[in-house]
Amino acid sequence: MKKYIVISIAILTLGFVSCEKMLNYAPDGAILAEDALKTPEDAQRLLNSCYDVMANVFDGSYQNLSELLGNNLAYPNGLDFQSVYKKETNFFTPTTNGVYSDFYYSIYRCNSLLENFDLIEGLTDADRSRMEAEARFIRAFCHWHVVKLWAQPYGYTANNSHLGIVIRDKASNAPLPRNTVAEVYDFILGELSWAANNLPTENGNYANANAAKAALAMVYFQTGNYNAAIQYCDEVIDITQFEDTLLDRFPSDADGFVALPNRETIFGIVSNNADVRTDELIGNYNASGVLPPNLTLWSDASFSSSNELENPFVQFISVTGTDQRSAWLGTNGSKKTLTRFQDKVVFNVPLIYQTELMLIRAEAIAYAQTGRLSEAIADINRIRARAYSQDNSISGSASADEVKAAARREYRIETIGEGKWLDQFRRLAVEGVVSNIRTSPWNCPGMALQFPNNEFTGASFVGNPEGGCN
């Protein structure tokens, strides 16, 4: 049986605290690695801190930004959220700046480790290879999530020559121009491939080969390389890990605590009551108080589109229907709310999981026409059998187009609130399947967030167009 992993935050916090010396700069900007990186234990603490900073971003901060740009949420509370929701690009917000900076902060720490292995005494070849693979996985994962929000999507131009983000593969904060989206994705795929080939199959609570292969499947799917996505999904998916009774990946016990990962988690973040990494998800969606939460679901009944994917999320799932995931919907006054994070104190955040890969593979099979459509149908029906209180399976003779539609529908429902749907919406927009996102063109300038001011210190840096989607 394949071993799946999560990030152990309890351990990572120690690394985060212990490695602060790594962040001291000499007058010329050089990191003082020779003073702080001497032993294998120092190296492991620095590596742990790379995970730790990345985990800060996935406390809901990144997920919220992605959802705000998409078509699942209604008009939010809070000026920062409203600016992103309205797709304003005239300025950056403290929220967007914080997410952007933390991603590159994690990347910086990874680069610091990668550049200084020769300083470490007593490090075995096996440990060096493992640490290098983990660091390259983390910086690829961070670059990927930055490019998805701060640049127009893959496929926006025919050769992906449009501006992406800055590739930082050195421990330096020197001003750099943006790379093209093609260059960024080539870098990400190269790093993930190296990690997949060099990570161990088992690695305790840290990234292993399956995590890298799963990320490769997701990136290839996003780029429309469906055969490659299928290949890596096949290598990672273990149907014995599918939880037939796991309706939600964010369950809670009677006290509101979730301390252990579920079997479906391939890569994610573990919180505990001493180190909660889910506060942005809990606080912004929580509808248990008198006031509405900061983030509510878009439910404008007056909006109607010829493409159901462009319609509000609540049209996908009926509160009174047989889909048991309707329990994730609630109301607060006139507001439709998302309750899957409500009244929870602590829970884990799965970033890659079995159900997601099954749906990716199902849709990719339908695109690739590999003769495996029956497998795709079986995967979708297994997910539906878990979700619906009565049979709602798709026909065994369903067409490829019907399989695509079913996989997209389930993906949107399964990932609500997780910041994943926007990626697929933009992929479908590039393919011409959808055209408008909350009545705005899918490719309007405001679909890419504006960069922080400190990036503009270099004369060659070009920001995103101002004006949003007006």
pLDDT in tens, 227-241: 999 999 999 999 888
Q: pLDDT grade, residue 260 (50/70/90)? A: low
Q: State residue 258's pLDDT score.
A: 56
pLDDT tens-digit readout, 188-208: 999 999 999 999 998 877 899
Asked if residue 163 lies in contact with residue 178, where contact means CB atoms within 8 angstroms, the answer is yes
On the question of pLDDT at 79 being above 60, the answer is: yes
| Cα–Cα dist 38/118, whole Å | 9
The pTM assigned to this predicted structure is 0.92
Distance, C-alpha 15 to centroid of its chain: 23
Residues 6+ apart with CB under 8 A from 184: 143, 147, 151, 164, 165, 167
- pLDDT exceeds cutoff 80 at 28: no
CATH class of 7-275+346-437: mainly alpha
Mean pLDDT score across all residues of the chain: 87
Rounded to a whole number, what is the distance in angstroms from the first to the last CA of the chain? 52
pLDDT in tens, 159-171: 999 999 999 999 9
Cα–Cα distance measured from residue 179 to residue 390, given in angstroms and rounded to the nearest whole number:
50
Rounded (10°) angle between helices 40-57 and 9-18: 110
What pLDDT does 9 receive? 38
* % of residues, the chain, pLDDT over 70: 88
pLDDT at 178: 96
Asked if 140 contacts 188 with a C-beta cutoff of 8 angstroms, the reply is: yes
CA atoms within 13 A on the CB side of 144: 27
Largest CA distance in the chain: 68
Task: Please state, in angstroms and rounded to a whole number, the distance separating the CA atoms of residues 199 and 286.
Answer: 38
3-class secondary structure for the chain?
Answer: CCCCCCEEHHHHHHHHHHCHHHHCECCCCCECHHHHCCCHHHHHHHHHHHHHHHHHHCCCHHHHHHHHHCCCECCCCCHHHHHHHCCCCCCCCHHHHHHHHHHHHHHHHHHHHHCCHHHCCCCCHHHHHHHHHHHHHHHHHHHHHHHHHHCCCCCCCCCCCCECCCCCCCCCCCCCCCCEHHHHHHHHHHHHHHHHHHCCCCCCCCCCHHHHHHHHHHHHHHCCCHHHHHHHHHHHCCHHHCCCCCCCCCCCCCCCECCCCCCCEEEEEECECCECCCHHHHHHHCCCCCCCCCCCECCCCCCCCCCHHHCCHHHCCCCCCCEHHHHHEEEECCEEEECCCCCCCECCEEEEEHHHHHHHHHHHHHHHCCCCHHHHHHHHHHHHHHHECCCCCCCCCCCHHHHHHHHHHHHHHHCCCCCCHHHHHHHHHHCCCCCEECCEECCCHHHCCCCCHHHHHCCCCCCCCCCCCC
pLDDT of 31 above 90: no
pLDDT digits (tens, 9 = 90+) for 126-161: 999 999 999 999 999 999 999 999 999 999 999 999
Tokens of 212: 């890298």
Let me know: does 32 contact 21? Beta carbons within 8 Å.
Answer: yes
pLDDT tens figures, 271-286: 777 777 888 998 999 8
How would residue 21 be classed by pLDDT, with cut points 50, 70 and 90?
A: very low
pLDDT at 259 over 70: no
Least confident piece of the model among 15-24, 172-181, 330-339 = 15-24
Question: CA–CA separation, 110 vs 466, rounded Å?
Answer: 32
Both tokens of 191, joined, read 């790093």
pLDDT band at 16 (very low <50, low <70, confident <90, very high): very low
